[in-house]
Amino acid sequence: MAQAVQKLVAKVPTLIGAAATYSKPRLATFWHYAKVELVPPSPAEIPQAIAGIKNILTGVNSGRLGQTTVKDAFRNGMVCTEVLMWFYIGECIGKGGIVGYAV
Amino acid sequence: MVPPVAVSPVIKTARWSFLLIGMFYGKQRYDYLKPRAEKERLVEEAEKKIREEQEKIAKALAEASEDTILK
């Protein structure tokens, strides 16, 4: 029993090294994309965002949005779902836990 | 590798504003629920004590009134 534990403890540095070598390139690709795609909007982009939202609202009122293809609607629906999920991630951060409120 | 996509500003602002709103909402809800949970715990403890007392009394009565000779 003690020998098995010792062997396991001796393996931990190799395991950590293997995990690091495995994850480094993947983290690098993730960072490469996240730097461009996941950054918060710069102050210059916020008026563009407001203009974009107004665009969408005029599209709704004029009926242009009724002309979207199913493919586009599906894609837009996926994007909306992803954006809404960020609310729940924020809620998890705010309440300090993943499942449920730790009261 | 595919070059990174230029995300529309609408989506970027929406994502990060939802993140911030979610953080606020989570914090507010936690602060709202915490005192209520405390009160609920106190009430539950008091009721539990009363219930246990009653159970003890009921058990004592039941034991006293059972007519078996195997005591």
A33 φ, ψ (degrees, to nearest 5): -80, -40
Contacts of residue A25, Cβ cutoff 8 Å, sequence gap at least 6: none
Q: Specify the residue for token string 């490469």.
A: A32
Q: Number of structural domains, chain B?
A: 1
> Is B6 part of any domain?
no
Residue B47 in domain? yes
pLDDT band for position B2 (cuts 50, 70, 90) = confident
Residues of B in contact with A76 (CB under 8 A): none
| Domain region containing B54 | 21-71
Cβ contact (<8 Å) for A40 and B12?
A: yes
| Dihedral angle, C-alpha A20, A26, A31, A33, nearest 10 ° | 180
Residue B45 lies in a domain: yes
Measured distance CA(B52)–CA(B50) in Å, rounded: 5
B31 touches chain A (CB under 8 A): no
pLDDT at B36: 94
pLDDT digits (tens, 9 = 90+) for B19-57: 999 999 999 999 999 999 999 999 999 999 999 999 999
Q: What pLDDT shows up at residue B71?
A: 67
Residue B2 placed within a domain: no
pLDDT of residue B35: 94
* ipTM value greater than 0.85: no
State the nearest Cα–Cα gap between A8 and chain B, in angstroms: 38
Is the CB of residue B5 less than 8 Å from the CB of residue A37? Answer: yes
A14/B contact by beta carbon, under 8 A: no
Q: Sign (positive/negative) of CA torsion B37, B42, B45, B47? A: negative
Per-residue pLDDT of chain A (103 residues; tens, 9 = 90+): 888 899 888 889 899 999 999 999 999 999 999 998 888 888 888 999 999 999 999 998 998 888 889 999 999 999 999 999 999 999 999 998 898 888 8
Answer whether residue B35 is part of any domain.
Answer: yes
N-term to C-term CA, chain A: 40
Residue B69 scores a pLDDT above 70: yes
